[in-house]
Chain A
Amino acid sequence: MSDDPFEAIKATFFQECEELLADLEGNLLTLESGSTDIEVINAVFRAVHSVKGGAGAFGLENLVRFAHVFETLMDELRSGRKPCDDPTVKTLLRASDVLADHVAAARGAGAAVDPVRSAGLVAELEALTYGGAAPVAAAEPEEDDFGFTPVAMDLGAFDAPAGLPDLPPLPDLAALAPLPDLSALAAAGGWKVVFRPHPRLYASANETGLLLRELARLGPTRVQMDDSGLPLLDALEPTDSHLIWTIELDGDASETEVREVFDFVEMDCDLSVTPLGDAAPVEAALAAVADEDDSDASALARAASSELDIAALLASVGAASTEAPAPVAAPVIAPAPEPVAPPPPVKPAPAPTAAAPVQTAPPAAAPVTIRVDLERVDRLINAVGELVIQQAMLAQRVTESGLARSSDIGLGLEDLELLTREIQDSVMAIRAQPVKSVFQRMPRLVREAAEATGKKVKLVTSGEDTEVDKTVIERLSDPITHMLRNAIDHGLEGPEERLAAGKPAEGTVRLAALHRSGRIVIEISDDGKGINRPRVKGIAVERGLIAEDAILSDDEIDNLIFLPGFSTATEVSDLSGRGVGMDVVRRSIQSLGGRISISSVPGKGSTFTLSLPLTLAVLDGMVVGAADQTLVAPLAAIVESLTPNEADIHYVGGVDPVLRFREAFVPLVDVAQVMGFRDDPTVLKGGVVMIVETESGQRAALLVDAIHGQRQVVIKSLESNYRHVEGVAAATILGDGRVALILDIDALVTAKRSRTPSRSDLQMAS
């Protein structure tokens, strides 16, 4: 995060946006499922409103404009003037996608928003809002903003304490106009505070922004700034005070409470506090102010002056989320603009901006959470990993020293072991996150895929709360995205075809997550036509992937789609079928130590099942020995292990050894030799062979001296303090406290093939 406080605030805003957008989509989906709960509609409204409010404070005009249109429609819906029917919700969902795009664009994270798409949705939303009739131009939103046009503040001026106001061009500001809370305004209570600081106020180190913030604590406020007294730049006296503030305070604070806010500055400002319901025109208010301080009447005649305290203004904007509109048209003295004109009985307006962020907090008791730097968690995990190793070493020493397990020390160690394990589990749980964060992105994807293919699709998710390590979460998104697209593009039929097959026109895609035997399983299933086996086989033959006369089981045919270069789509569609199909998915899953499988029933649909380790911080490994070194081979890559029969070992061209394995010859890799632990290539006897499969599906036989057993190991990076070493994926620390290298199977097999290792490039350290 940047050190710049403004950037930090902005980053927080975008973080909140993420959450708001997620809430927004979640609530819209609830509406889509048929709920008409007014609370849900309100929640959607508040989310959009909060995004708009924050965006306004940061001058993100495009975002504000779009959010405003969205919000206007939501307002119609929550007032019940427009029905919240299915087509409307569908439009809202698409609008939420575009809103997310706008946020991403504003953040600089995404590409610019497609203006056609955005404008199209604006038109759709407006059509829904105004019942098909074109909106009454910009006049409509302006109606309820008291004729005031807010000054959009250039927040870049934040750091310039006495800088000039950076007044951006005013067109389109109608869209920026805050929607004042007229209903609250009409309610009894509330105060109108007119406040004109004298230069003395600033001289004694008081700040308008702090006072405004203090006022905002008493209730929702609307703040207006009159900068009409502001002289031109050449006449500007920076230490003078030029601004007049009009604050409308809702709620039931007493006059004393309001005045108390100004306790310390009372002598240094003009202040009037009048009941809000009172339609006293502003001249009267100002006259009252003038009466209170006659000596300043002449100053008032010049329409007041106020130090242009941008920083304070911005602080108030940022802190209380209040927008600060200022009259632009004429000085306050002029009769035209009237901030407290009795409100026309228009539609109930949205909740006050200041209160909105508070209201977005989910009403249900959410678990209390804190944000923690991931690095701290990782450090903790490292420390606990070391604790586990130390504990194991200690236990080993105690056993070696001949102490009985029933001795005091032995019993104490047992307790320590239990405690250690508990700590380890708890620490790993800290980094575990529900897969919800990934699943949440999928409804949008499905909508877009459905739109692009013209199919009707319903996404049903389950197991969103299934937890998995953060390292895995981050890498789940791509494979799931790809498989969902595939399911919609290739799996589901079009509506007519579905109806003809006696299925509902709308296809269903299920996305489920569950824990199974220490792994996370993700299932993606569709109720489409299933895998067209004759066609799959035909394509595989056509592409030369299998022999024409190959006899394959159904299962084997289904699995052909995972072969590199296999893509069933006859025409390359936008969605999938660029030739990087399921083989890419499989490779990325395998690189995570996972497996993928498919089951399909013709006419009923297909199910893809991914199984992944719960964390990438630990690995299921096979501990092996090669030339006095202990190494770890990733278990996921090992197909089986065997003791080779010498007769099965052959030499291609008399040099390169191959092993006959099930009627096929696979390259035989002497691990100790390729790793440079041993020079002599002839020692192929007496070892054990692991048949491994690389990520690209090639098989090879790795020769080691012995297999010690299976173990879960903690993965440690070699790169963090040294550098990548070819043939080594990472390192780990074994129970004896020594470092063991984890083999990079793919690199080993490739290295074997690409060159015959020579002594020079395998120079050993010891």
Chain B
Amino acid sequence: MTHIDQILTPNVAGTDRELIAFRIGEQEFCVDIMSVREIRGWTPATPLPRSPAYMKGVINLRGVVLPIIDLGARFGLQTGEPTERHVIMVAHVGSRLVGLLVDAVSDIVQLSDAAIQPTPDVASDHVKSFVKGIFAVEGGRMISLIDLDHVLPESEAEAA
């Protein structure tokens, strides 16, 4: 199992990690804030032929051709057509820059490594390949920590 330090920027001793939390449907996820470059509203994407269903296509991000991944569909969740209220988190995945389509960005959370628990065995293998840990926050919410390395199509993730 990937160690926390491999999916998060190495922690400076004594400080809490900063994670950016977002919502897909009723569920909350989060990624390391350092991997997110910007957050922008949904704009229609140009579809790509011969691509998996979770590939929404490409958009123009100030001259960069940015692939858009429907993160919910990638996790195997039911998602509808994106609307203007959806947001795109522009994130670094390896050397690539990708747009992650989510329902909304909900929070910025700070927590220590100790608060992160391993993913329980109840989750399916498919989910476990993305979810690297879970933790609880105030109000009884549970947030899943996402490893972005596998969100691109498999063959590419290996080649990258």
Contact = CB atoms under 8 A, between A and B. Distances in A.
B85 interface: no
A761 B50 CA distance: 6
B154 to A, nearest CB: 11
B133 interface: no
A717 B65 contact: yes
Contacts of A741: 46, 48-49
A725 B96 contact: no
A765 B56 contact: yes
**Most chain A Cβ neighbours within 10 Å, of B45, B51, B152, B159:** B51
Given A716-B63, A723-B153, A762 B97 contact: no
B126 to A, nearest CB: 18
Contacts of A722: 48, 58, 65, 67, 96, 98, 152, 156
A376 interface: no
Contact of B49 (A385, A677, A733): A677
A761 B53 CA distance: 11
Interface size, A (range): 20 to 34
Interface in B48-86: 48-60, 62-67, 81
A385 B64 CA distance: 10
Contact of B65 (A677, A739, A761, A764): A739
Interface in A685-737: 716-718, 720-723, 725-728, 731, 733, 737
Contact of A629 (B46, B52, B67, B81): B46
Contact of B97 (A677, A721, A726): A721
A731 to B, nearest CB: 5
Contact of A677 (B47, B52, B60): B47
B79 to A, nearest CB: 12
A569 interface: no
A740 B97 contact: no
Contacts of B81: 766
Interface string A363-391: 00000000000000000001101100100
Interface in A738-766: 738-741, 761-766
A728 B60 contact: no
A761 B65 CA distance: 23
A739 B57 CA distance: 9
B49 A675 contact: yes
A737 B47 CA distance: 15
B158 to A, nearest CB: 11
Given A722-B67, A733-B63, A739 B96 contact: no
Contacts of A386: 62-63
A386 B63 CA distance: 5
A722 B156 CA distance: 8
Given A723-B153, A763-B52, A383 B63 contact: yes
A119 B155 CA distance: 53
A220 interface: no
A544 to B, nearest CB: 36
Interface of B: 44-60, 62-67, 81, 96-98, 152-153, 155-156, 159
